[in-house]
Structure formats: structure tokens, C-alpha cells
Structure 1
Amino acid sequence: MTLASQPASHGAATVTDPVRVMVVDDSVVIRGLIGRWIDADPALAVVATHRNGQLAVDDIERSNPDVVVLDIEMPVMDGMTALPLMLAKRRDLVVVMASTLTRRNAEISLKALSLGAQEYVPKPESSANVTTSVDFRRDLIDKVKSLGMRKRDRAAGIRRPMRAETAAGAAAAPAAARAATRPTGHTATFTLRPYASVKPRVLAIGSSTGGPQALQALFRDIGSSLREVPVLVTQHMPPTFTAILAEHISKAAMCPAAEATDGVLLKPGHIYVAPGGKHMVVEKTAAGVVARLNEDPPVNFCRPAVDPLFDSVAKAYGSATLAIVLTGMGSDGANGARAIAASGGSIIAQDEKSSVVWGMPGAAAHTGQCSDVLALSEIGPKITRILGGRR
């Protein structure tokens, strides 16, 4: 449903109204294509399309979008110049950056996240590839819809019910775990398991939407406590982006971080990031635990995915595993959390209030296998205490 010809009503939008989307791209082909994809979804509606950032900034108040899909390279005013101007006019605006997959654009996209954009979508290199890319279309629409609905829900104070399969997983939690329940934050009462009694020998982290910002904040808090364990990170990201993410994590943690290479021996005090396009798992060898990379089919529509990492860590480290599930769409990591809990390890999920999207951590929390559900600001201090042998 296209609303572009209609002036915005500035009354409060209801949660049943379609999410209002502005598309800003200098290519008329891309604007038209994305606009048609958006309008094909009844939960979304295009309210405006513009060929440069200046026109978009000038139109923000009139069109009143919930979400802006913003290109980086445009004439007159580029996306990075337009971004802070848009957010100055609408502090609650959700901005999704869209750019071709080059190192320069990946750097810019990650910088945009630090300046207030909430997500990024890598565009195929040519208009022809954009037209035929099923993955790009699904990724874009899923992110626009999820972030737009999240904005509406938060404004209305609404919590969406968990999906049926997540509820079933929570109901299947063992009786011993169900006995330990407590309210966490403002969100709900969760079933919690006791932490493992052994000191962790590995830290595994999974994240998606909102993850780059959350990871940098987390590693600033825990960098000094990582000397005795290797750290494994799976963030849903394409190639190029993950290499840059590792550089940013290294600066935040002030310790070595890089994309993992196949067969690398895991060392304490080092951070290994799953490369875009490859699953990262771990394997016990005579020399120690090593990282393995593969191009097996996507899991939960993702490669890299969190579940394969968590499954392998549970096998290699057992009860000496500490895993963290941070902000992200979908349920990746929930099955892996079950595997870690079954092996005696511990899982912490980020809470709803501090998550950009409470999909992954919410799914993990509702399995009943987590030992805590905490705000992002609380996770770092908790990890530091646990790695130091305290609870």
C-alpha cells in the first residue's frame, strides 16, 4: 500500500497501521524496486522516495516515516551527511543503511551505526543483481518490518507474545530449572538455571541486529578480564564487514581480535570472529581446541550462524562454557543454548529493554536454559565476576 501521495497524519500511529517507510537512493531503478517490495507487504507502506539526502531531510517532518532506507553514496547530500540531520528532526526515527559491499562502504556503515543508524543491508553490486537477489529482498524487508514494528510496540508499551515454538521450548524446560524463576528487568518472569560450578575456559557470543554496537560496548567492559579464555564471536554479517568488526572489537577490548582462520589454535586473551559467509565451529585436537570454518548450508537463514558455534563449544568445553546471546532478529542461538545447558555450561541472554530487537535473546531466554537475563550494561560486569571465579 503506497501512502506517498498522502500527507502524514502526525497523530500517534496505532500498532495496526502499516509501518511507514521512506526510501532514499540516487538510482531510480533501486527506488522503484525497493518501493514495490515494500508495498507488496501489507504490514509496510511507502510514504516517500527521494534521490538524495537533502530532499529526504527536507521531507522528514511532512512524510513522518517510521523507517528510512538510506543509501550512502548520493549527489547533493550523501547518506552520512543526511543521517544526523534526520535524527535531529526525529529522534525515534529508525534508519537502515543500504550500500554496496565494499570495504569503504562497510567502514561507513559501521560508523553510521555508531551515529544512530539501527541496521545496515549490503546491496548487490549492480542493479541487475539487486533485481534478482532473493537474499537481499528478504534481508531488507525483514529488517524494515521488524525494526518498524519494534518502534511502534515500544511507543505503545506493547510486548509481543512469543512464537509458539519458543513457548513450547520454555514449557519443555526440566523441572529442576523451572523451580528457579525470578522476574528480570521490566519484561517478564523467566525460568533460570544455576550457573555452572566450574570456572569457564571459553566465552562464546552470538548476535545479529544491533550487535555491532552491543559488542563494542560489551568488550569495552570486559577486555581486561579476557586474559585466561579465548573468545568466539558469531555476528550475522557479510564478508568484508566481519573483518572490520574484528578491528573495532580489538580497539574496544584492547586485546587481539581477528577473523578466525581454519585450524587456528585458540589462545586465551584472543578474540576470534566468524568470517562472513562461513560457519565457525570448534574442534578438539591433540594440540588443543582449534577453530574450523565451513560453508555448510545456512542455519536459520544465516551463515555464519550462532547455533553451530554453540553446539560445537558445548561438545569441546562442556560445563566450562559461558555463552552470551545478544540483540538480534530470529531465534538463532536458542537451540545452541539448549546444547550448552545440556552439557552443564552457562548462558546469559540480553534483556528486552536494552536490545535493539529481542528476537535471539528472547528465544534463548524462553528456553528456560539461561542462568541470567540481563541488561547490556550488566552483562559485562557479570562476565568479569564469573571469569574471576566469582558469581
Structure 2
Amino acid sequence: TRPAPPARRVRLAVVGSSTGGPEALSRVLSSLTAPPPVPVLVVQHMPPVFTRQLASRLDRLGPAAVVEAAGEPLVAGTVYVAPGDRHLEVRRTGSGFETVLTDAPPVNFCRPSVDVLFTSAVQAAGGELVATVLTGMGADGRVGCQAVVDAGGTVLVQDEPTSVVWGMPGAVAQAGLAHQVLPLPEIGAALERSFTPQGVPA
């Protein structure tokens, strides 16, 4: 793992997952103790319709509101799930951020792609973000996590024993891009700590 980056305010959280991800997302969101103080964006590799069903299921689990992203201003405390077969990007607006959906070609054979989301989040928020990579096949997210690290953001990944497939989180960890490699039950608490870094004025 990498040494922790300097403490800084977090303005966005981004999450990527694939095989085993719906269950992992359920565990993380249900473990939150309060609605997150920042918007959270999720790419879960899934076909259309299933992503809407996933969002409505996750919405019932924890303190965060969960919706399928539809091109809207981002609101703290809300989780935005990328619709199946659309890329989800973040764009900075005058007063904050908004979601943008595109039909650009697949990246890493995936649409939505974790790399597309993470890279756009860095362009929008710089290093003021935390990225989390959960269980999944392949390496989607590694390029995006490189961008997060280069900008000074924080990267959390799920550990191998609790992952259904340690492809995506493993690719990030093996590239030396993870600040913390954590068992699934600890990720929600680690996310909450990252939202309120010590020594940074709230």
C-alpha cells in the first residue's frame, strides 16, 4: 500500500465494481452511519434495467439516497449509479458538479467504465476525492486510480479474501496505487473517515 496522501477536503466519492459488486455495494452502503457528506458515484458493470433495479434495492438499505444517474446536479448524501450501457462522467458546474451520460465507445470492453468515471472525477474535482474499487473481473479502474493518485486523491480497494473476484481491486493493488487494502466489512468505515480527514477544517 501507498503512504496516505496529505489530508485534504473530499468533495466526491467514486466507486467501481463488477462481479460480486451488487452484494459488496449492499454491504458498504448499509454499513454507513449517516448520509455521506459528499455525492457518491458508482459504476457497477451491469446491463440496462438491472442498474435501475440495483439502485432501488440499494436505496432501501442504508442512510444514503440511491438513484440511477440521469444527468443531474450532484447532491451530497446521494449515490448515483451509472445506467447500464452508458458511460457516467462528472462535470464541474458553476456551483458544484453534475452527472453526464455518454454513448462513447466501451473502455476495457465496458460501458459504463470505471476508468471513464474516475478520470472524469479527477478532471472535475482534482485530488479532492476518494476512489474505491470493489470485487470484479478484469482491470477496469486501474488507469482511473492512477489519475486519482497523481492528483493527490485517496484510493481504497477491497482485499482478496473478501472479493468474489480479485481482478479489479487486485490490478489496482498490484500496481501500487492503493492507500488501503481492506476487507469488505471495513470499507464503509474507511470511507466515512476519508470524508472527514483529521486536521482539515470541516
Give the TM-score of the pair, scaled to structure 1. Answer: 0.49
**Relative CO higher for 1 or 2, CA cutoff 8 Å, sep ≥ 6?**
2
Q: Which has the larger radius of gyration?
A: 1
Whole-angstrom distance in 2 between the partners of 1:219 and 1:255: 7
Equivalent of 1:217 in 27, 31, 50: 27
1:79-94 equivalent positions in 2, closer than 5 A: none
Maintained 8 Å contact 2:32/2:63: no
Secondary structure in structure 2 of the residue aligned to 1:330: coil
Describe the superposition over 1:175-224 as per-residue Cα deviations: whole angstroms up to 9, x where unpaired: xxxxxxxxxxxxxxxx4132341021111000000000000000011251
Q: Which amino acid aligns with 2:180?
A: D
Match of 2:49 among 209, 221, 240: 240
- Unaligned 5+ segments in structure 1 are 1-190
1:225 Cα deviation after fit = 4.5
**Counterpart for residue 202 of structure 1:** 12
CA contact (8 A) 2:7 2:198 kept: no
For the residue of structure 1 that corresponds to 2:116, the secondary structure is helix
Aligned: 1:261 with 2:70: yes
* CA–CA distance in structure 1, aligned partners of residues 61 and 131 of structure 2: 19
Q: 1:288 offset after TM fit, Å?
A: 2.2
Q: What stretches of structure 1 move > 4 A for 4+ residues in a row? A: none
- 1:229 paired with 2:54, answer no
Aligned partners of 1:196 and 1:220: how far apart in 2? 28
SS in 2 for 1:312: helix
Q: How does 1:100-115 map to 2 (within 5 A)?
A: none
Please report the TM-score for the alignment, with normalisation by the length of structure 2. 0.94
SS at match of 2:126: helix
Where 2:61 maps in the other structure, the secondary structure is: helix
* Pair 1:344 & 2:148 matched: no
Tell me the residue number matched to 1:385. 193
CA pair 298-313 structure 1, distance change in 2 beyond 3 A:
same
Do the aligned partners of residues 381 and 387 (structure 1) sit closer, same or farther apart at CA in structure 2, a change above 3 Å counting? Answer: same
Letter in 2 for 1:362: G
1:278 and 1:304 in contact (8 A); partners too: yes
What RMSD in Å do the two structures reach over aligned CA positions?
1.4
| Structure 1 contact 196–319 (Cα < 8 Å) conserved | no
Report deviation, 1:326: 0.1
Instruction: Note the 1:294-333 alignment, pairs <5 A.
Output: 294-333=102-141
Question: Is 1:193 equivalent to 2:3 in the alignment?
Answer: yes
1:290 maps to which of 98, 103, 106: 98
| Per-residue deviation, 1:356 | 0.1
Identity value in percent? 44
* Aligned-residue offset at 1:244: 0.6
Q: Deviations over 1:247-285 (max 9, x none)?
A: 1111112332111112x1101011101000100001112
The Cα shift of 1:354 comes to: 0.3
* Cα distance between partner residues in 2 of 1:196 and 1:307: 23
Q: Distance in 1 between matches of 2:124 and 2:183?
A: 28
Gaps of 5+ in 2: none
CA distance in 1, matches of 2:113, 2:12: 18
Aligned residue pairs: how many?
199
Report the Cα offset of residue 381 of structure 1: 1.3
Counterpart contact for 1:225–1:387, Cα < 8 Å: no
**Counterpart Cα distance in 1 of 2:95 and 2:194:** 27
More helix by share: 1
Return the offset for 1:370. Answer: 1.3
Cα contact 2:7–2:197 (8 A) shared by 1: no
